[in-house]
Amino acid sequence: MDSLPLTLLDAALRGTLVALLVLLALVLLRERPHLPVAQAAAALALGLCVQVVSSTPLFEARVPGVWQAQWVAISVGNAVLFWVFAQALFDDEFSWRPLHVVAWLMVAALSGFNCAVMAHSASSFAPFTFGLQRLVPLLFAALAAWAAASQWRADLVEGRRRLRAFTVTTGVVYTLATLVARLGSPLGQLTGATAMADVLILLVIVAVIGWRLLGLGIEGSRLFAPAPGVVVPEEAADTDLPARAPTPAPPAAPDPAEDRLAAALQHAMAEERLYRSEDLGLASLAARLAVPEYRLRRLINQRLGHRNFNAFVNGFRLADARNALADPALSDTPVLTIALDAGFQSIGPFNRAFKAATGLTPTEFRRQKLAVS
């Protein structure tokens, strides 16, 4: 039996972690209730509260398996919520889909069934169902890592780039360590120092991510994307350049080198129309301008107010497409041709980006503009 001091310390750590998770969920839902990343983070925080309580050694040892089933279902389902959270945090265009709910329900149903029925069953299917349950954390940890690692180079928010590395590393390592510890313990239950180490590691991870999400660290407020579905004002559709996000206040002492880089960037995009190249990336554009990537990234993010390089480039492409769609001389040109000429690789992403930016499909936009002219 665990010593009393160890039990009390374990309880104190779990109480602190639960309080932090509840606080994080409440603040996110109060401050940014409409943002998918806040919703996903709050759901994961509440799910982790259940996991922290249900993984207490005393709870696992004393509560009958059938009563633990719903707790276990939610705890294992946190692997899905972590994947959703990673997507929402690192993809500015993320939106909830039925797939997310279905995946969580399937994982929760499987783990709940295993705990309530298969745990004490002699069924030949038990090794198979428990094997699937053990694969769930690995699968969704890999998916979360992919969500964080994809488009790494295109992310312009330096604080979020660091958070990507932290999320990938700690999320995958914690998942693997927990799985190995449970496989190596009697009945898959953590006890004593192992259980306390588990909650202590989770407390550190949650504290760091919570610090960043609540904007307490440097650039913390930049980690959140603006609410999706913002419609570009009509007057912006008639300009040659894309509408820009609110530009931060300029520094007190202007930097001549940054001014020259900004002018060179504007010339490359607006005059040379480099955005029409399908394979234009941050690295190739930085090489074209003969500057390090970090300087170009900082300029586009901090001076021009953009969070993602691809979104920055697509702004020019959409402006080009809007001008072409509104041109009576191009009224017979197919929408696909206009999209490809502007730099988009296919019609699907173009249609979605155009509708998100203007509130209209390309065909509707063209019809309105040509009717006026």
- How confident is the model over 12-20, as a mean pLDDT? 92
Give backbone dihedrals phi and psi of 3, rounded to 5 degrees, phi first.
-70, 155
Q: Residue 305 above 80 pLDDT?
A: yes
| pTM for the model | 0.77
Dump pLDDT digits (tens) for 247-273. 444 554 567 888 899 999 999 999 999
Answer yes or no: are the C-beta atoms of 184 and 191 closer than 8 Å: no
Backbone angles phi, psi at 129, to 5 degrees: -65, -40
CA Rg, the chain, in Å? 25
pLDDT at position 223, please?
A: 55
Sequence-separated (6 or more) residues with CB below 8 Å from residue 172? 141, 142, 144, 145
Residue 215: pLDDT band (50, 70, 90) is low
> What is the residue whose two structure tokens read 């992919």?
146
69-103 pLDDT, tens digit each: 999 999 999 999 999 998 988 888 888 999 999 99
Number of neighbours of residue 19 by Cβ within 10 angstroms: 11
- Checking if the pLDDT of 290 tops 50, the result is yes
How far is the C-alpha of 342 from the C-alpha of 282, rounded, in Å? 18
168-172, 190-194, 363-367: segment of lowest average pLDDT? 190-194
The mean of the pLDDT values for the chain is 83
Q: Provide the b/e sequence for 152-184 (b: ≥16 CB within 10 Å).
A: eebbbbbbbeebbeebbebbbebbeebbebbee
Higher pLDDT, 219 or 70: 70
Share in percent of the chain as helix, strand, coil (round to 5): 75, 0, 25
* Identity at 358, one-letter amino acid code: T
* CA pair distance 223, 336, nearest whole angstrom: 34
Query: 327-339 pLDDT, tens per residue?
Result: 999 999 999 999 9
What is residue 354's predicted lDDT score, i.e. its pLDDT? Answer: 93
